[in-house]
């Protein structure tokens, strides 16, 4: 999908949400389309993609038909989208997918498989204990996994750097091949699409 198609998809979801047609939270992306398109050039159909509660773009770029993604969102499952056929798994719990991603990678290695695991996480999640455990374990055992840290500077409205009193985050300038980081600014709030929806 192109940058324009990704933006149009989220705008369609925003419209549906603001009209009160989605009776569950949504977390929308914006401003990171070019970075994600570039990252997905290295992701093959047989690879696994694990995401957080904000995963519409990953699902689309991994090849899930847009109508199928939208149907799941309309059904209220935006924050934990799972598409086994495309090997996508998401969790709405901070850090929840990290050890699961490591387990998938461990299973691939023990089976002698050639698939890889791509685990997306926010910059606040990247500062948690579970992230450090999982990255250390993956690095030390040479697992077929990489972690993509998506830095929008905040967790909900909490400033990550201020709350940790840490101007430069742990993986911000990392040269570790296991870790990819990028920064972006979104036009959407943490949840929803800007209009207060009262159900």
Tokens of 142: 């040479």
Of the pair 139, 161, the CB lying nearest other proteins is at 139
Of the pair 2, 111, the CB lying nearest other proteins is at 111
CB 81 to other proteins: min, Å: 9
User: Are the beta carbons of 78 and 72 closer than 8 angstroms?
Assistant: yes
CB 101 to other proteins: min, Å: 6
User: Are the beta carbons of 109 and 87 closer than 8 angstroms?
Assistant: no
Tokens of 100: 């699961």
CB 55 to other proteins: min, Å: 12
Tokens of 153: 């500077």
Residue ranges that bind other proteins, judged by CB under 8 A? 77, 80, 82-85, 89, 91, 93, 96, 98-108, 110-111, 130, 133-134, 137
Of the pair 77, 154, the CB lying nearest other proteins is at 77
Of the pair 96, 122, the CB lying nearest other proteins is at 96
DSSP 83: B
- How big is the CA angle at 180 (ends 178 and 181), to the nearest 5 degrees? 145
């Amino acid at each position: 999908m192109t940058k324009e198609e990704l933006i149009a998809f989220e705008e369609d979801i925003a419209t549906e949400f603001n009209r009160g047609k989605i009776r569950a939270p949504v977390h929308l992306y914006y401003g990171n389309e070019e970075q994600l398109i570039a990252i997905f050039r290295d992701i093959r159909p047989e690879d696994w993609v694990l995401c957080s509660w904000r995963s519409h773009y990953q699902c689309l770029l991994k090849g899930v038909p847009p109508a199928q993604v939208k149907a799941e969102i309309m059904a209220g499952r935006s924050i934990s989208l799972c598409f086994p056929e495309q090997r996508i798994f998401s969790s709405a719990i901070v850090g929840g997918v990290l050890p699961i991603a490591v387990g998938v990678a461990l299973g691939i290695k023990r089976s002698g498989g050639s698939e890889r695991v791509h685990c997306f996480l926010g910059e606040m999640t990247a500062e948690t204990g579970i992230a450090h455990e999982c990255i250390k374990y993956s690095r030390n055992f040479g697992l077929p996994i990489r972690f993509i840290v998506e830095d929008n500077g905040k967790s909900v409205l909490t400033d990550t750097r201020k709350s940790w009193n840490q101007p430069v985050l742990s993986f911000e300038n990392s040269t570790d091949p296991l870790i990819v980081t990028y920064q972006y600014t979104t036009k959407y709030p943490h949840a929803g699409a800007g209009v207060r929806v009262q159900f």
